[in-house]
Amino acid sequence: MDRRIQRIAFLSEHASPLALRGGADAGGQNVYVSEVSSQLASFGYQVDIFTRRDAAAIPEIVDWAPGVRVISVIAGPLDTLPKDLLWPYMPAFRDNILHIIDREQSSYDLIHSNFWMSGWVAIELKQRLGIPVVHIFHAMGKTKQRNQGDMDSSPGERIAVETQIIQSVDRLLAQCPSEEQELIEDYGADPQKVIVIPSAVNTEIFHPVERAEARSVVGLDPSAFVVAYVGRLLPRKDIRNVVRGVAQLIATCEARQAGSAARIKLLIVGGETVEPDPVVTPEIGVLQKLAAELGISEHLHFIGKRQQDVLCYYYGAGDVVVTTPWYEPFGLTPLEGMACGRPVIGSAVGGITYTVVDNKTGFLIPPKNPAALAQRLQQLLQAPELCLSMGQTARQRVEQSFSWSTTALHTAIVYADLLISSLSESEQQSELRSPRVAVAVSDPEY
Ligand code: UDP
């Protein structure tokens, strides 16, 4: 095998590193693509991220980070579209990627595709280019269908295409054991093909901030008991459940005349715009109406969308971070809250059961159960020292087990394994004598 730099084509039709996170379709996948590609580049790979061009002003090729380019490919309108409307444009996405590869005379060693639509493009490109494909779904259609029922706006082809991808790609990455189980049990994936590589959190961006400092940045009273939600404002994230849980906590405190009810606040960060706007982000309107019905409007504090580099102040303003989705493929926001040294109360679903350790770094509760949430909030309200100690344990857990460099290292091992198995025996021997990826796995969890 020659010693040239290895080139990876990342495909991510709707989640570009160039997008501002926090909006409906700009979530964990954008973070994953940004962090993993830049870490891989730091190991010496060259990564090109192919994404759909959603504005005329975006240049076709952007040098986004050392060793990482973002290539915005025309496929449908030069405008932002909900991801569930992008499927018809995937043949154009495929053809225009091939056109760019041809024009630039680029060659790639491997494709790393993200989400089901790019997975389809990847298996088409695999046939044309004859290179291996590593795929990560980020979310599975069957789970979405099961949980969202009639609200699921995915194209009808999704599950059949996912099944085709699972059969055709060389390796499937799962972000946590529950996703591995979905791939194998719900879709019949070959267990040998599935590799669990947990997603992670950037501990330099997400770090503990003194509560008083955070409160002054966010504009909340230092003596308040603050429940923080940070993330996309989607119905499936069930922030309505958090509003109901906080309402029950307030009612309990009022009944006990504990005097603490007035100081309970719910901080909600996220949405489509920097100013919270119920027209542009309808879920804000739904939550405001619900809070009014429950008589707790003055306890809610809406912040719009914020850039990640300031989110530590918003997590840090919370005594506790709460996320109670109906389901969660992985969930980056619980890890971010933990990295900011706060206890996390999360639904016992999907990736949250893997990241949050019940009774140690926070609490796991059943989804759609405001009473269970109110009970845990009450426990933390009465025990500020428990908030502090759980928050410290949470930060330690993140530092030990969830770094993007480890995620990227394990991904590089998957690449190396695939690329090496495509070599002749003598090439394999020479590659094994001087491997280009240093394998230094020390985390016992893997
Ligand atoms: N996010 C952000 N600004 C916001 C709200 C969220 O940058 O105002 C980021 C957040 O830090 C997280 C990502 O958006 O990394 C996705 O949040 P979500 O809770 O939706 O996580 P997912 O479901 O994608 O894992």
Q: Are 174 and 183 a contacting pair, CB within 8 Å?
A: yes
**Cα 200 from Cα 21, distance rounded (Å):** 16
Structure confidence at residue 402 (pLDDT) = 98
Structure confidence at residue 444 (pLDDT) = 33
Angle (deg, nearest 10), helices 384-401 and 370-382: 110
Q: Which of 444, 234, 246, 213 is nearest to 345 (CA)?
A: 246
**Prediction pTM value:** 0.92
Q: Are 27 and 21 a contacting pair, CB within 8 Å?
A: yes
Neighbouring CB atoms inside 10 A of 68's CB total 24
Residues in the chain: 446
Structure confidence at residue 3 (pLDDT) = 54
Q: Which of 328, 36, 34 is nearest to 179 (CA)?
A: 328
CA angle 309, 315, 317 (to 5 degrees): 115
- Residue with CA at minimum distance from ligand 1 atom 3: 22
**Cα 306 from Cα 283, distance rounded (Å):** 17
Structure confidence at residue 1 (pLDDT) = 45
Q: Which residues of the chain carry a pLDDT beneath 70?
A: 1-4, 20-25, 258, 424, 431-446
Per-domain residue ranges of the chain: 7-200+403-433, 211-401
7-200+403-433 has which fold?
Rossmann fold (3.40.50)
Whether 7-200+403-433 and 211-401 share one fold: the answer is yes
Structure confidence at residue 24 (pLDDT) = 63
Give me ligand 1 centre to Cα 416, in Å.
Answer: 31
- Collect all residues with Cβ–Cβ distance below 8 Å to 77 and sequence separation of at least 6: none
HSE-CB at 39 with a 13 A cutoff on CA atoms is 21
Probe ligand 1: pick from 30, 179, 333, 342, max atoms within 8 Å of CB?
Answer: 333
**Cα 309 from Cα 340, distance rounded (Å):** 12
Q: Does the beta carbon of 396 sit less than 6 angstroms from any atom of ligand 1?
A: no
For the CA atoms of 42, 43, 48, 52, what is the dihedral angle to 10 degrees?
-70
Structure confidence at residue 83 (pLDDT) = 95
211-401 has which fold?
Rossmann fold (3.40.50)
ipTM value greater than 0.90: yes
Q: Which of 289, 312, 315 is nearest to 300 (CA)?
A: 289
